[in-house]
Chains A and B, each alone.
Chain A
Amino acid sequence: MGRAVAVIGTGQTKHGSRFDVTYPDLVREAVMACFKDAGITPDDVDGVVSGTMPSMMEGVALTHFYFADAMRSVGKPIMKTETCGSTGVSLALTGYYWVASGLADIVLIVGSEKMHEGDSQATMTTVLEPFYQRHFLSGAPGVFSMQSQMWTARYGIPEDKVRDAAAKVSVDHHRDALDNPYAHIKVALSMDDVKNAKVITYPCRLYDICPNSDGACAVLFASEEKAKKICPNPAWIKGVGYRGDEYWFGDSDKVVWQCAIQAAKEAYKTAGIKNPRKELDVAEVYNPFTFQELLYYECFGFCDFGEACDYTLKGTFAKGGELPCDPSGGVLCTNPIGATGLIRVAEASMQVTGKAGDRQIGGAKLAFAHAMGGVDQFNGVMIIGSER
Chain B
Amino acid sequence: MAKHFRTLRHDVWLPYRIAVGPTFNRFYEGLKVEKIWGNKCPQCGKVLVPARTFCPGCFVDMGDWIEVSQEGEVVTWTLANDRFYGMPVDPPFIGALIRLDGTDCDFLHLVGGFDLTHVDSVRSKITKGTRVKAVWSDQKKGHLMDIKYFQPV
Contacts and interface: CB of A to CB of B under 8 A. Distances in A.
A137 B80 CA distance: 9
A20 B2 contact: yes
Interface in A93-152: 117, 119, 121-122, 125, 129-139, 141-142, 145-147, 149-150
Contact of A199 (B79, B87, B106): B79
A66 interface: no
B109 A136 contact: yes
Chain B binding surface, main DSSP class: loop
A150 B50 CA distance: 21
Contacts of A14: 1
B82 interface: yes
Interface in A187-218: 198-204
Contacts of A248: 56, 105
B114 interface: no
Interface residues of B, number: 44
A125 B87 CA distance: 9
Contact of A19 (B4, B18, B144): B4
Contact of A249 (B4, B108, B119): B108
B78 A138 contact: yes
A117 B8 CA distance: 10
Contacts of A202: 78-79, 81, 119, 122-123
B65 interface: no
Interface of B: 1-5, 7, 10, 12, 18, 20, 24, 48, 50, 56-57, 75-82, 84-88, 95-97, 105-110, 119, 122-123, 127-128, 144-145
12 contacts: A20-B3, A20-B5, A131-B50, A132-B144, A136-B109, A141-B78, A142-B78, A142-B95, A146-B96, A146-B97, A250-B97, A250-B108
